[in-house]
Structure 1
Amino acid sequence: MDIKQLWLNAQDLWGTLDQHPLLHSSLALAVLLVIALILGRVARYLILHASRMLGRQPALHWINDFRHNKVFQRLAQITPSLVIQFGLHLVPDLSKTAMVFLGNVALAFTILFLLLAIAALLNALLDIYARTEHARTRSIKGYVQLTKMVLYVFGAIIIVATLIDRSPLLLLSGLGAMSAVILLVYKDTLLSFVASVQLTSNDMLRVGDWIEMPQVGADGDVVDITLHTVKVQRFDKTIVSIPTWRLMSESFKNHWLEPHNSY
């Protein structure tokens, strides 16, 4: 059987599918999904290979931070959903309802991976900042964590609104009615954020400071400052995690400037 005969048989088979619209559209969707996955793998390979090549250059060493935090990998994961979004109109016998639903699902995945890419980008920028001189005295991890939290909340709202085919403003108006519940749930986060801003802006606490806070059993060096906790390594090498807001509501002694510098 030659190639021409195979082509004619394939045309006959495809023609018979016109008599079965559901089967026709299902097979077309399966083909579109396979193509999207293949293009996604190709895009991932090309992007990661290019990032490795560029990361070898000394002037572009920061690309390695992007690669280690999977920024490029997250961006490549957007490819399949984009292919499906733009390829749905090529699927024959697909109802308008199904096209809208599948398009919304694909768009939701696009938004999801875009959010993950932005979060990975923030992590990469945090790693780059950690190697600077300012990072020794000014920690921005808390701000990055808060930014990611806000990003995830608004991203979740947009994704849900996309899936139910409604405006995000409609969901945001509903959140306004639940403001009391939201404040109760995120009370510690808000308190920690305010405390983190005050500690940083007033230069009350830095990574490397020796602090004492007997009420929580903390007596040692500050090794990490995040949005929710401050980690103190005691002299026996154990770690004490202190809620950030407690450093503003309770007193502690900081030996950074002088032997008896307390707040």
Structure 2
Amino acid sequence: MLLELKNYIINFFKGMGMSDHISGLLFTILGYLVLIITSYILYKLTVIILRKVIRPIAHRTTNHFDDLLMKNSFFLRISYLAPIVLMYFTLESKLFIAEPADVFIEGMVIIFLYITLALVFQSILSTINDYYNRFNIAKDHPISGIIQVLKIIGYIIALLGIVGYLFDKDISSILLGLGTLSAVLMLIFRDPILGFVGGLQLIFNKMIAIGDWITMPKYGADGTVMEINLTTVKVQNFDKTIITLPTYSLISESFQNWRGMEDSGGRRIKRSINIDMNSVRFCDEKMLEAFSKVDVLASYVTNREKEILTFNKNNKVDTSVTVNGRRQTNIGIFREYLKEYLRERSDIHDDMTFLVRHLQPTEKGLPIQLYVFTTTIDWGEYEDIQADIFDHILAVIPEFNLKVFQYPTNNDITSIIEN
């Protein structure tokens, strides 16, 4: 039927007094115009059908996979295939007689086919990644790096197919030819290769996951991991700035992951307060009597005093000399007070490391360090708890006849001069 239509049109041109060559050329031009217009109409019809049929169906289904296909332009890119297929089979039918034009247009159709298939493949991969990210497992095992590698492979295969068609070579022979350029390719794709290897190590060794809080001072990173890609890891700092780290740097260099703290359910308080060593002294009867009235210290002071008196008596210690035997000190009782005070707080873990200890005395006094864990990992709540504890400590220190060490201020110096 097409051949009869072709002969009819050519004979029509001949009947108008045109030569065979001109008649054939006009038919070819007309045929190409009709083919282009028909292909465009077919593309538009395909898009309309997909919008009117596929989109409503996708919105009605409970499965979100088809919605993600729509989001990633899968159906739009599939619609490109309709005019491509029409053009390809029309050209294969040898309906037109202009061989150079046929070869050129067929080449363009083949190239466009490879590009379209690559784009469709990218849409499928993006949809798989988006769908996978909806599950909790994606936080610990992201696949975005693997997806990016597959996308690159898809583009490479499409490129090899285009090159093979243009130079009339199969892909295997092209790959053999590329072997001589392997060093150059390794140089070009160095970062993606290192990033891919690093990404696999990060994922399978569970070194990092989306949502982790990491710290990497070299790159100014101190925040939450947002994305793990083939060559970069995106981190949102707590000041809302975005830092991109080379993926491989997380393997080749050290970084701090705070996931353990978050998983444990406790956040560490490690802070010291410096005591003026000139205020440290043995407790006299009056001080012991005052301390024994403190609820959390009553039993400790009484039992400790009995223990010391028994020791001194059994060892016949001359207690008239202050340095002989054993005695309670105000700083020792203060340290015990801090332990009991912290144990009574419901916001401090009693089943994690719990220390109130002396550090090495320095020219800045004797540091008393609190090393405990809060029952919350929320930053704001943690800071409130820590501040509340040290507010109380600073206020209660004078009750133990102790002083906090601090450098003299102008007011202190003025007061000394005046006195």
Secondary structure of the corresponding residue to residue 84 of structure 1: helix
- The CA distance in 1 between the partners of 2:237 and 2:63, in whole Å, is 38
Alignment of 1:1-263 (within 5 A): 12-13=12-13, 16=16, 19=20, 20=22, 21-88=24-91, 89-95=93-99, 97-258=100-261
Secondary structure of the corresponding residue to residue 215 of structure 2: strand
Residue identity opposite 1:99 in structure 2: D
Deviations 1:196-241 (A, max 9, x none): 0001000000111111111111111111111111111111111111
Contact 2:195 2:248 in 1 (8 A): yes
Residue identity opposite 1:87 in structure 2: T
After TM superposition, give the deviation of residue 11 of structure 1 in Å.
6.8
After TM superposition, give the deviation of residue 182 of structure 1 in Å.
0.1
- The CA distance in 2 between the partners of 1:14 and 1:121, in whole Å, is 52
Taking every aligned residue pair, what percent have the same amino acid on both sides?
33
- The CA distance in 1 between the partners of 2:197 and 2:244, in whole Å, is 18
Residue identity opposite 1:235 in structure 2: F
After TM superposition, give the deviation of residue 257 of structure 1 in Å.
1.4
After TM superposition, give the deviation of residue 92 of structure 1 in Å.
3.2
Deviations 1:143-183 (A, max 9, x none): 11111011111211111222333322332222111000000
Secondary structure of the corresponding residue to residue 208 of structure 2: coil
After TM superposition, give the deviation of residue 15 of structure 1 in Å.
5.2
Contact 1:82 1:107 in 2 (8 A): no
Deviations 1:174-193 (A, max 9, x none): 21110000001111111111
Q: 1:34 to 1:165 in 2, by over 3 A?
A: farther
- The CA distance in 2 between the partners of 1:191 and 1:15, in whole Å, is 70
After TM superposition, give the deviation of residue 255 of structure 1 in Å.
1.1
Residue identity opposite 1:142 in structure 2: G
Contiguous gaps of at least 5 residues in structure 1 = 1-7
After TM superposition, give the deviation of residue 244 of structure 1 in Å.
0.2
Q: 1:204 to 1:159 in 2, by over 3 A?
A: same
Which has the higher relative contact order, 1 or 2, with Cα contacts under 8 A spaced 6 or more apart?
1
Secondary structure of the corresponding residue to residue 175 of structure 1: helix
- The CA distance in 1 between the partners of 2:189 and 2:250, in whole Å, is 18
Residue identity opposite 1:174 in structure 2: G
The root-mean-square deviation of aligned C-alpha atoms, in Å, is 2.2
After TM superposition, give the deviation of residue 10 of structure 1 in Å.
10
Q: Report which of the two structures shows the higher radius of gyration computed on alpha carbons.
A: 2
- The CA distance in 1 between the partners of 2:222 and 2:64, in whole Å, is 38
- The CA distance in 2 between the partners of 1:146 and 1:210, in whole Å, is 26
Residue identity opposite 1:164 in structure 2: F
Contact 1:29 1:91 in 2 (8 A): no
More helix, by proportion: 1
Secondary structure of the corresponding residue to residue 56 of structure 1: helix
After TM superposition, give the deviation of residue 105 of structure 1 in Å.
2.0
Q: How many residues align?
A: 252
**Which deviates more from structure 2 when the two are superposed, residues 40-49 or residues 173-182?**
40-49
- The CA distance in 2 between the partners of 1:198 and 1:231, in whole Å, is 17
- The CA distance in 2 between the partners of 1:159 and 1:114, in whole Å, is 12
Secondary structure of the corresponding residue to residue 242 of structure 1: strand
Contact 1:78 1:109 in 2 (8 A): no
Which 4+ stretches in 1 moved above 4 angstroms? 8-11, 14-18
Residue identity opposite 2:35 in structure 1: L
Secondary structure of the corresponding residue to residue 59 of structure 1: coil
